[in-house]
Every structure is written in structure tokens, then in C-alpha cells.
Copies of this chain bind each other. A is one copy, B any other.
Amino acid sequence: MNVDGKKYRTIWPAEDGGSVEIIDQTRFPYRFEIVSLRTVEDAAHAIRDMQVRGAPLIGATAAYGVALAMKADPSDENLHAACSALLQTRPTAVNLHWALDRALKSLVQVAPERRADAALELAAAVCDEDIAINMAIGMHGMKLVAALSATKRRGEPVNILTHCNAGWLATVDWGTATAPIYMAHDGGIPVHVWVDETRPRNQGAFLTAWELGQHGVPHTVVVDNAGGHLMQRGEVDMVIVGTDRTTATGDVCNKIGTYLKALAARDNDVPFYVALPSPTIDFSLSDGLREIPIEERGGEEVSRMSGRLSDGSVDTIDIVADGSEVGNPAFDVTPACLVTGLITERGVLEPNRKALADAFPERVRTRA
């Protein structure tokens, strides 16, 4: 999407032909810096230190990491070493595992002298596939926005609330929850986005607000507490969020606080949509609340916050009374009964086992 009027992806091969460039996301929202990855170690560092983040972008960066390794040394030994090193950066990231598995299986069948090119092509394909999925989500979701827009007076925007960052910065381009928003905006449908601050880590105020602002989409940042009130007052027409993991039955695991917004949406008859690329559906799970373990992250994400001081420098402050315990569950589960629809690359689906299985039959294990 646009940054300061210029089109970007989050990762791309550099013009020199020998390196890959990324946007350094650790510098957001107060600096926009592009970083060159020249070696597989650079790629591993970018993933480990969260210069790149978001499942699809992590997968794409890993694929480019393999390409950089193959350019330096296309041997079988180095192929395995590169995949292994990249996998260690964030061992629990599903897309990382998937992208590396795919690269390894594909490249071992390629002769070493052709591996550098093949790896680069594979990485480009991983990126293009992510974009194709997100654009399909965007097209399906945009129809929902357009339908709401048709009920408005001319020029009056559709008010969309989103939580966390399921934006283009978490993918190669377009994002998931943001894809319908960007497509509607680019297509001339007036939209306005309520951006939840998204404590802790503040991905809404830092990332979603930044990317919407750069692309010119009207938006307002509010604290996470405000969404219910806005819905009570009729100021939200729809909610669109992303997801980290969705069950075969449509239960949605996403950033902590998503569930509260889903409850408020139901209480105020506001449609609540989840945008998801189908790889995030886990067809082995039936009950999100029972089966999805919720990661408890470090308390300093809650008790400390980084931002910009008046002299322009970025620093970190303490923001909890000394001596207090701090809890930090990172995700919550929104039961399928609170979800209006799942916006996938194959259409907007009802959140139930049959609808998901019908749309993705190849993903459902055949039972004897």
C-alpha cells in the first residue's frame, strides 16, 4: 500500500539483484526505515528481532532467507542448515514452519546450480500467493462494506471498527482485516475506521493507525475501552478483525480483547466479521475455548511502554505501580456464535463446521 504517496510491499527483492529489502517494523510509528537483507543471517535476525512480524510476512521473509543462502552456497548441506537456522528464530510460528518445509521439499529436488534461481522464484511465489489471498479477502469483504454504504446518505462513511493490526504490515500487501477497507477506499466507497489502541503492544495506535494514515484512509484511534460505547451510540456499522487461529467450527482466537468487542457487537446488532486466509484455519480443532492454549506473555509488555519523548528520542517508561503483579494473556477466543461471518479467500462463510468444510474440502481429513 502507499507510504508517503509511494507504493510499497513489506518485502521485495532489491534492484541490485543480490539482496532483499524490508521495512524495519521495530522503528514504527515514528520512523520509516528500509533495511537490506544480504545474507540468511540477516533474514534470521529480521525475523527474530521482529523487524518483520505477522504470519504471512514471516513466511515470506523465511523464503527469501533461503534464497539468500542458496545464492551464497547452493549445497544440500547449506540448504538444510539455512532452513534449520531460520526455523529456530521463532519456533512456534506456523507460517515459518510451512514456508521452510515447502522450500526444503521443493529445492532438494533441484540441481544445486539451479537452486539460487529456484529459491528466488519460490520466495516470489510465496509473496504473490499471499497477495492473491488477501486481494480475494478484500474483494469479498468489500461487498459487505458496499452493501452497508448503500444504506447511507451520499458521502456518509461506513464506520468500521478494527482491533490490533491485521493490516498490510503483517502481510506482504493489503493485509487481511484491512484488505476490504483499502479496496473500498480505493474504490471510492467512503469509509472511516475506528482503530482500537490494542493494549498491550499497541499495534492499533502504532501500526494500524500509521498504515491507514499513510494510505489516506480516514480513521480515529480510540482506547480499547471505547468500542462498546461507540456501538451503543450507533457509531459503528461493522467490525472486521483478523485471527491467529480459527477452529473447524469457527471459534476465533485473536489478540486479547477481541471477544469483548464481539460481545458488544452482538448486544448492539453490529455485524462482526473475521478476515482470515484459510491457512489460519486449524481443522483439527473443534472447541476454541477448551483446545486453544492461551500464551501468557511477559508482564513488562503491560508495565512498560515505549514512545517518543518531546526531544524526539524514543524511550520506555514504567506505567504500573511498583510492586504490583502483572498478568498478560496475549489472546482470547471469540466463540463462533458471536461471529457474523468469516471473510476468506473463497467467500464469506458462516462460522460453522459445515460451511468451512464445504469451502475447503481438501483441508478436511477423510475419516474411515
Contacts and interface: CB of A to CB of B under 8 A. Distances in A.
Interface of A: 28-30, 194-195, 197-200, 202, 205-207, 209-210, 212-213, 218-230, 232-233, 255-257, 259-261, 263-264, 267, 289, 294, 302-310, 315-329, 331-333
Given A30-B322, A209-B324, A222-B326, 9 more contacts: A206-B319, A206-B321, A225-B260, A229-B329, A229-B331, A230-B327, A232-B289, A259-B264, A309-B316
User: Considering the complex of A and B, which 10 residue pairs feature the smallest CB-CB distances, nearest first?
Assistant: A225-B257, A307-B317, A229-B332, A29-B321, A210-B321, A209-B321, A199-B223, A209-B324, A263-B263, A307-B319
A170 B213 CA distance: 39
A222 B316 contact: no
Contacts of A310: 315-316
Nearest to A325: B220
Contact of A226 (B30, B209, B267, B327): B327
Nearest to A212: B324
Given A199-B225, A229-B332, A260-B260, A317 B308 contact: yes
A257 B224 contact: yes
Contacts of A225: 198-199, 224, 255-257, 260, 332
A257 B199 CA distance: 13
Contact of A317 (B199, B220, B306): B306
B228 A257 contact: yes
A166 B367 CA distance: 56
30 contacts: A29-B320, A29-B321, A195-B324, A197-B320, A198-B225, A209-B321, A210-B321, A218-B325, A220-B324, A221-B302, A221-B325, A221-B326, A222-B326, A222-B328, A223-B224, A224-B225, A225-B255, A226-B328, A226-B329, A226-B332, A229-B259, A232-B259, A260-B261, A263-B264, A305-B317, A307-B318, A308-B317, A309-B315, A309-B317, A315-B317
Contact of A256 (B210, B212, B226): B226
A195 B320 CA distance: 11
B209 A320 contact: yes
Which of A198, A255, A264, A319 counts the most B-chain CB atoms under 10 A from its CB?
A: A319
Given A199-B197, A210-B321, A260 B227 contact: yes
Q: Which of A28, A260, A332 has the most CB of B within 10 A?
A: A260
Given A259-B229, A309-B315, A320 B221 contact: yes
A219 B327 CA distance: 10
Given A225-B256, A260-B225, A319 B305 contact: yes
A79 B219 CA distance: 51
Nearest to A302: B223
Contacts of A218: 325
Contacts of A224: 199, 223-225, 257
B307 A305 contact: yes
Contacts of A255: 225
A322 B308 CA distance: 11
A236 to B, nearest CB: 12
Contacts of A325: 218-221
A246 to B, nearest CB: 17
A304 B259 CA distance: 26
Contacts of A326: 220-222
A213 B260 CA distance: 28
Nearest to A28: B321
Contact of A228 (B229, B259, B321): B259
